[in-house]
């Protein structure tokens, strides 16, 4: 009878190992391309739960290719060229009127769409992020979801009946009465009930105050980039921190506090007065978030198109005031490539490492902005 050799690798299951290696390659490819992937519209407009498709270009192994023409090497040309000579034309160029462009004859770049859940993508994005300068404040006790068994009593709700202890008490009673430990049913004196207490845990509280410019100058593309950044910021906070609170402010010429759905869906109209958002932010901090008990993180996103230099100066003064109690103040400006806005120029006089400004001109800038705002920095505690 034929006995297979133990070292025969054809008998081993290679499928799981190949699949694991393939998934690791996909993970590496996604991580390298996070700046391009993170702001894809099908992700931002998803419900946050379903699968999304990420295009990944296939990578081929390096290989040598021999010259099939065996002509002159290096490619300097015949040597008699001068400035202005046309060396080569792309297919379809230089044709006569009415001939149009010809179809290309070169191969494209192969890629396929990998399916990944929002949670898996978020894990890659958030693994190096954290709230910066998080400090232990006056900790407070809050109820936890867990419950702890603490005692046994004779009375209580039947949902907490300890059947095992009740049966033991019944057998003890029978043993005392009849001299033999047997179970002959339960009476009221045999019943035992467990006592549960909700556990309390201590936390260093943190609040993030998200502010968004909803003025008429924030067009569709600016709104999309703003929504993209805040989408990941909110998901990051709720994924990594259990008890962080988030307050939402939208503003044009006036500011108001809104719920999360309104914050993301509100359209754009009206003028811009940035100081209105900062005034409301300061008011919310004073009324609800004592700096002695809360780590405070305001973040504002705008195109910097403020209505006057006077309001720019007032905005700077308010930011300086908020920085006296805030762990970090983040300002993000979404605009076309070019010179900075007057508001960004006014912010340059703020000399405080806790004021972090970012500029976003393209989808690929969203991920670096998140990294800059949420670099771990000094970590003094956990929420």
The yes-or-no verdict on residue 117 having pLDDT over 90 is: no
Q: Which pLDDT score, from 0 to 100, does residue 357 have?
A: 94
The CA–CA distances, whole Å, from 1 to 4, 6, 296 equal 10, 15, 76
**What average pLDDT does this structure show over 192-210?**
77
**What average pLDDT does this structure show over 160-171?**
87
State both tokens at 272: 């811009």
The yes-or-no verdict on residue 80 having pLDDT over 80 is: no
The span from the CA of 125 to the CA of 85, in Å, is 49
The yes-or-no verdict on residue 22 having pLDDT over 70 is: no
248 or 78, greater pLDDT: 248
**What average pLDDT does this structure show over 59-80?**
55
Reported as a pLDDT band with limits 50, 70 and 90, residue 96 is very low
CB 313 within 8 A of CB 276: no
Q: Of the candidates 308, 360, 363, which has an alpha carbon nearest to the alpha carbon of residue 331?
A: 360
Domain residue extents for the chain = 20-60+111-124, 128-139+204-373, 143-201
**What average pLDDT does this structure show over 55-71?**
54
Q: Which pLDDT score, from 0 to 100, does residue 268 have?
A: 77
Q: Which pLDDT score, from 0 to 100, does residue 128 have?
A: 76
For 365-375, give one letter per residue: b (16+ CB within 10 A) or e.
bbbebbeebbe
State both tokens at 147: 């419950």
The CATH architecture annotation of domain 128-139+204-373 reads 3-Layer(aba) Sandwich (3.40)
Q: Which pLDDT score, from 0 to 100, does residue 196 have?
A: 72
Reported as a pLDDT band with limits 50, 70 and 90, residue 201 is low
State both tokens at 118: 């929002």
pLDDT tens-place string over residues 321-341: 999 999 999 999 998 888 889
Reported as a pLDDT band with limits 50, 70 and 90, residue 311 is very high
Please, which residues bridge with residue 292 across strands? none
Please, which residues bridge with residue 148 across strands? 197
Q: Which pLDDT score, from 0 to 100, does residue 3 have?
A: 55
The span from the CA of 12 to the CA of 383, in Å, is 47
State both tokens at 140: 């407070």
**What average pLDDT does this structure show over 130-141?**
70
**What average pLDDT does this structure show over 211-225?**
88
The CA–CA distances, whole Å, from 147 to 4, 63, 140, 191, 241 equal 56, 62, 18, 22, 21
Q: Is the dihedral of CA 156, 162, 163, 169 positive or negative?
A: negative
């Amino acid at each position: 009878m034929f006995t297979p050799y133990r070292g025969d690798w054809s008998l081993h299951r290679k499928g799981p190992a190949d699949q694991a290696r393939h998934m690791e390659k996909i993970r590496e490819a996604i991580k390298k391309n996070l700046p391009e992937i993170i702001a894809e519209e099908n992700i931002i407009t998803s419900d946050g739960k379903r699968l999304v498709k990420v295009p990944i270009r296939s990578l081929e192994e390096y290989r040598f290719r021999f010259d099939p023409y065996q002509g002159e090497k290096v490619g300097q040309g015949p040597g008699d060229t001068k400035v202005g000579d046309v060396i080569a034309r792309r297919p379809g160029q230089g044709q006569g009127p009415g001939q149009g462009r010809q179809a290309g004859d070169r191969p494209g770049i192969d890629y396929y769409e990998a399916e990944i859940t929002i949670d898996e993508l978020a894990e890659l994005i958030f693994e190096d992020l954290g709230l910066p300068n998080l400090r232990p404040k006056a900790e407070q006790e809050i109820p936890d979801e867990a419950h702890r068994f603490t005692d046994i009593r004779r009375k209580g709700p039947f949902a907490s009946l300890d059947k095992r202890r009740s049966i033991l008490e019944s057998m003890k009673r029978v043993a005392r009465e009849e001299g033999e430990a047997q179970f002959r049913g339960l009476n009221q004196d045999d019943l035992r009930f467990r006592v549960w207490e909700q556990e309390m845990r201590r936390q260093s509280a943190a609040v993030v105050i998200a502010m968004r410019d909803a003025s008429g100058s924030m067009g569709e593309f600016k709104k999309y980039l703003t929504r993209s950044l805040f989408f990941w910021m909110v998901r990051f906070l709720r994924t990594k921190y259990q008890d962080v609170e988030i307050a939402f402010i939208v503003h044009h010429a006036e500011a108001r506090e809104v719920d999360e759905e309104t914050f993301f869906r509100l359209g754009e109209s009206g003028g811009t007065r940035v100081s209105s958002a900062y005034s409301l932010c300061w008011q919310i901090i004073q009324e609800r978030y004592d700096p002695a008990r809360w780590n405070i993180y305001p973040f504002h996103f705008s195109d910097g198109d403020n209505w006057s230099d006077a309001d720019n100066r007032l905005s700077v003064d308010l930011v300086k005031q908020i920085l006296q109690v805030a762990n970090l103040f983040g300002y993000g400006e979404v605009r076309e490539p070019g010179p900075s806005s007057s508001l960004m120029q006014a912010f340059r006089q703020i000399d405080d490492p806790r004021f972090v400004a970012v500029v976003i001109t393209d989808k690929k800038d969203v991920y670096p902005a998140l990294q800059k705002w949420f670099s771990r920095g000094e970590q003094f505690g956990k929420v």
